[in-house]
Amino acid sequence: MSKTLQATEIDLAKLEELFRLEKSFDTDFFWEWRDNLPHIKESEQLLLDDVKTDYLHLSKHSLLEPIVKMVILSPILKLAGFYRSPFYLKAEQSISILSQEEAIVIQGRIDVLVFKPPFWVVVIEAKRAAYSVEVGIPQALTYMIANPHPERPVFGLVTNGSEFIFLKLQQQDTLKYGESDLFSIKRGNDLYTVVSILRHLSQLVAKP
């Protein structure tokens, strides 16, 4: 009989054990967060400056996940183009996956799923501001493994409102993932780069 675990209980060591997951350190594996990033217009930069100002003000008190989603995720997803055709969004999308030996069932809920029917595009895991984004990486990867179309890569974004890490998961001969650099809303124009990466992903997926 299978044992059931919640995605929030899973760490990277457990994912490696259950799914033979490997981390790729090859810079060519996850090139999408670095190469050919689109330009962010000055008017969009001004909007993102406002988002940053709002966050820095509100973060004087602890920000829970719903506030992180409202203040940070909502405007950057809009600027990335994910609110328009051919994309759709789902919140609290339930997932259930079996380990390779079918001894463990992992269940959870994706905070925000961006998809272009029928394919998943970006899995987003949001954490409260007090948490490190590192905490959310195993959870996001777990949801990404549940991608119903493993022949295509799926991307992830983990954020606590202040910091951002992008993920890429590819299921071919082996299950591999890669990470981007860590971006911070408090460091220079990193928020511009975050939106630029998201927009690049949207453009890549939107191509026929």
Using one digit for the tens of pLDDT, what is the confidence trace for 81-98? 999 999 999 999 999 998
Give the model confidence (pLDDT) of 57-83 as tens digits: 999 888 888 899 999 999 999 999 999
Q: Is the dihedral of CA 188, 62, 81, 179 positive or negative?
A: positive
Could you give the angle at the alpha carbon of 26 between the alpha carbons of 100 and 18, nearest 5°?
Answer: 15
d(C-alpha 156, C-alpha 167), whole Å: 5
Whether the bond between 117 and the residue before it is cis, its omega within 30 degrees of 0, is no
State the amino acid at position 144 in one-letter form: M
Q: Is the dihedral of CA 15, 17, 20, 22 positive or negative?
A: positive
Give the model confidence (pLDDT) of 146-159 as tens digits: 999 989 999 999 99
Cβ atoms of residues 72 and 52 within 8 Å:
no
Phi first, then psi, for residue 5 (nearest 5°) are -125, 150
Tell me: pLDDT of 100 over 80.
no
Please give the average per-residue pLDDT across 99-111, as a whole number: 84
Q: Which CATH architecture has domain 3-206?
A: Alpha-Beta Complex (3.90)
Tell me: pLDDT of 102 over 70.
no
Output the six-digit token pair for 178: 């890669």
Please give the average per-residue pLDDT across 143-172, as a whole number: 93
